[in-house]
Amino acid sequence: MRKRDITYWINFRNASIVCIGLLSLSCEWISRQRAIDDEGRIPVARVNNTFLYKDELAGIVSHETSSEDSVSRIHSYVNSWIRKQLLIQEATRKIDINEAAVERKILDYRYSIIAYEYQTSYIKQNLDTVVSDQIIEAYYKDNIDNFILKQNIVKATYIKVPKSAPRTQRIKELIFSEVANDINELKSYCLSFSAAYHLADSSWISFDELVRGSPLIEIPNKIQFLKSNPYHESSDGNYLYFLKVEEYRISDNVSPLEFVNDEIRNIILNKRKVELAKQLEDEVYAEAESKKDFEIY
C-alpha cells in the first residue's frame, strides 16, 4: 500500500473513532435530555430505559439528618434501586410474568400501606394508653395458664469483682446487712470495683441472665442449686463471685405477676390497637353505606 494511501487510511480510521465517540456521547446526552424533559424531572440513575428521578428520593432523609448521613442513605437507596431494577429486567427476559397478577399485588400492597398509615394515625389519636394495675391483675388471673415460666427466675444480689479488688472480705457482710449505710456502701463499692453486679430489689430476673459470664452458668442442676444455696461464693482465675438469693421461682411453674407485668401491659395495649383498627374499618364502612358510596352488582 502506498504511503499516501496509508496516511489516508489512518486519518479515516481516527475520524471514524471520533465520530463514533461523538455519536455515543450524543446518544447518551439525548437519552439524558429526554429523561430531563419528561415533565422537567431530573434523573439520578438509569437501568437501560428505566430512570430513577430526583423527586422520587423525597422523604428518604429528613431535615435533621446530617449531610454525611444524607449522602450515605441516598447512595444506599440508589444502589438498591439499581440492583432491584436489574433483577426485575432480568426476570422479565428469562421467565413469563403474569402482568395482571403483578399489578393486582402492587395495588393490594399500595392499599395495605395507605390503610396501615391511616390506621396508625387513628390509633395514635384514640388509643387509651392507661392500663391500671387492676386490669393487669384481672388479665393475669383470667389467663394464668399462659404465664408458665420457661426459665428459673430470682430476686437476688450478685457481685463479680476482680481478685485484686480491695476489702473483698467485707462484701459478704455488706450483702447481708440491712443497715442503710451498709447498703449505700455496697452500692458505692460495686460502682467502684465490680466487673458486674445486680443488687436485690423488687424485680425478678432470669437466673441464667444474672450469672452469665461466671462459673455458676455451668451448674448442671440449677433447680437443686437454688433450693440448696441461699448464699454462695465461688471464684475462677481472675474473679470472685458472690450470690445471695432472696426468692426464686422454678421453670414450669406459674410466673409471678411482677415478672410478666410489662408483658401483660403490652398484650392489653395491642388488643386495644386491634379493636381500634376494626372500629375504624367498621365506621368507614357504615358511613359509606349510609351515603350509598358503594354498590355491589
As a whole number of angstroms, the distance between CA 49 and CA 85 comes to 10
What is residue 201's DSSP assignment? -
Judgement on whether residues 139 and 271 belong to the same structural domain of the protein:
yes
Judgement on whether residues 21 and 89 belong to the same structural domain of the protein:
yes
Judgement on whether residues 172 and 45 belong to the same structural domain of the protein:
no
- Measured N-to-C along each axis, helices 99-126 and 257-290 cross at an angle, to the nearest 10 degrees, of 110
pLDDT above 70 (res 133): yes
Residue 231, domain CATH: 3.10.50
* pLDDT mean over 234-260: 95
Judgement on whether residues 222 and 284 belong to the same structural domain of the protein:
no
pLDDT band at 38 (very low <50, low <70, confident <90, very high): low
Task: At 127, list the grid cell.
Answer: 388509643
* pLDDT mean over 148-170: 96
Judgement on whether residues 102 and 92 belong to the same structural domain of the protein:
no
As a whole number of angstroms, the distance between CA 37 and CA 206 comes to 64
Judgement on whether residues 50 and 12 belong to the same structural domain of the protein:
yes
Segment 74-102, tens digit of pLDDT: 999 999 999 999 998 898 888 888 888 88
Give every CB contact of residue 81 below 8 A, 6+ residues apart in sequence: 45, 52
Judgement on whether residues 137 and 267 belong to the same structural domain of the protein:
yes
* pLDDT mean over 14-43: 51
Q: How far is CA 140 from each of CA 9, 35, 218, 267, rounded to the nearest angstrom? A: 93, 62, 33, 11
Burial degree of 194 (CB within 10 A; 0-12, 13-18, 19+): buried
**E strand or H helix at 2:** none
What pLDDT score does 65 carry?
77
Q: Is 252 left (phi over 0), alpha (psi -120 to 50) or beta?
A: left
Judgement on whether residues 87 and 54 belong to the same structural domain of the protein:
yes
Judgement on whether residues 133 and 165 belong to the same structural domain of the protein:
no
pLDDT above 60 (res 10): no
The residue among 272 and 29 whose pLDDT is bigger is 272
**E strand or H helix at 83:** helix 67-94
240 backbone dihedrals φ, ψ, rounded to 5°: -110, 145
What pLDDT score does 36 carry?
55
What pLDDT score does 12 carry?
40
94 backbone dihedrals φ, ψ, rounded to 5°: -95, -25
68: domain range?
A: 3-97
What pLDDT score does 23 carry?
39
What pLDDT score does 60 carry?
85
pLDDT above 90 (res 242): yes
pLDDT above 90 (res 18): no
* pLDDT mean over 46-65: 86
Segment 160-213, tens digit of pLDDT: 999 999 999 999 999 999 999 999 999 999 999 999 999 988 789 999 999 999
CB 207 within 8 A of CB 248: yes
From 34, 68, 97, give the residue that closes a domain.
97
**pTM of the prediction?**
0.65
**Mean pLDDT score of the chain:** 87
Judgement on whether residues 269 and 130 belong to the same structural domain of the protein:
yes
pLDDT above 70 (res 19): no
Judgement on whether residues 229 and 158 belong to the same structural domain of the protein:
yes
Give every CB contact of residue 77 below 8 A, 6+ residues apart in sequence: 57, 60
Number of domains in the chain: 3
Judgement on whether residues 153 and 241 belong to the same structural domain of the protein:
yes
